[in-house]
Amino acid sequence: MELPVLDMSLFRDGEEVNRVAFSNQLVQSFTDHGFVKLIKHGLPEDTVEAYMKAAEDFFNLSTETKMKIANERGPWPQRGFSWAGAEQTSKLRKENLAGESWDELKDAREHFDAGPHDDKEYPNRWPSEEDLPGFKSLMEQCYDVFQAICIQLMEAMEIGLKLPKDTLVNRCRPASSELRLNHYPQTDLAVLAEGKTKRTWPHTDFGIITLLFQDQTGGLELEDRRNPNTFVPVLPGPADGPTEMVVNISNTFQRWTNDVVRAGLHQVSVPGAMKEQRTGICPERYSGIFFFKAHRTTSVGPLPSFISEKTPALYDEIDALQYQQRMTAVLY
């Protein structure tokens, strides 16, 4: 199974016929797989490279320095540094538990999270300029570009799903999205083979869609919906080099469409070439993620267009922040 690779310039710069064709293909890929790959999305290669390099620079800081901005664990948006094992993605899916207790199932991953620049309710926690010069500025620049790309993708989804203009876009302003940098440290393959520690456990994301850039290590896998509970690799590039973007549908979009477009189940595993190995070291991996989210006061219940007498609402009416708090509480 190979994911479709779509050229987003056809939507951004194309004639109406191309915009409609792109939108239809986008909806089809999300409906079939929960995922798509995008190229020519407008993010320059040097920006992507700087973004990924910033991930390395941040995680190469001393533990003491990173802990200065440690995330306060709890049912609220994450900000700052989370150490390996702080978050337990295993808890997001009951099928991950097979006889063990939840506390035994660990994530071999550390991460950094940031929200909107001017968030006074949940302020960001940045390393100082002395500790990491230019990091805050670059992350804020990337946040704005990622948010703009996601808004364009919502415009395309409105066209592809034949929704009135701004049905989705208006639910995403002002911004409440979150940027994340992931680092998967080198890990003993024997530890991963035991089955109680994974780089990231099978799960779906909370938001609307997720943008992802990954290094060349490999390990990202998505569920093959033709064979439920089996996973296939999402290989890095080379369709458009380092700027190739992986996008997956997340829970909020599934809720809005009342299961018409379902969230993409995914995990991060051992790279394919090392699957059968039980000794040695799994190499470190970096990824950059943007969790595109609805505005906090927006309902994440099903939209009226997707509810009828034959298809009643499958989800409760709850606002986006309450939903995020509900789900984040599960992680801890």
- Using CA atoms, how far apart are residues 179 and 146, in angstroms rounded to an integer? 9
Q: What is the pLDDT of residue 278?
A: 85
Instruction: Tell me what the mean pLDDT of segment 114-118 comes to.
Output: 96
Q: Between residues 115 and 100, which one has the greater pLDDT?
A: 115
Go through the domains of the chain in sequence order and give each one's CATH number: 5-331 (2.60.120.330)
Instruction: Tell me what the mean pLDDT of segment 142-162 comes to.
Output: 98
Q: What is the pLDDT of residue 266?
A: 97
Instruction: Tell me what the mean pLDDT of segment 107-124 comes to.
Output: 97
Instruction: Tell me what the mean pLDDT of segment 251-262 comes to.
Output: 99
**Residues forming beta bridges with residue 87, ordered by sequence position:** none
pLDDT tens per residue, range 266-303:
999 999 888 888 899 999 999 999 999 999 999 999 99
pLDDT tens per residue, range 232-255:
999 887 655 668 999 999 999 999
Instruction: Tell me what the mean pLDDT of segment 314-328 comes to.
Output: 97
- Using CA atoms, how far apart are residues 279 and 73, in angstroms rounded to an integer? 34
Distances (CA, A) of 57 to 54, 112, 305: 5, 12, 46
What pTM was estimated for this model as a whole?
A: 0.96
Q: What is the mean pLDDT of the chain?
A: 94
Q: What is the pLDDT of residue 240?
A: 56
Percent of the chain exceeding pLDDT 70 equals 98
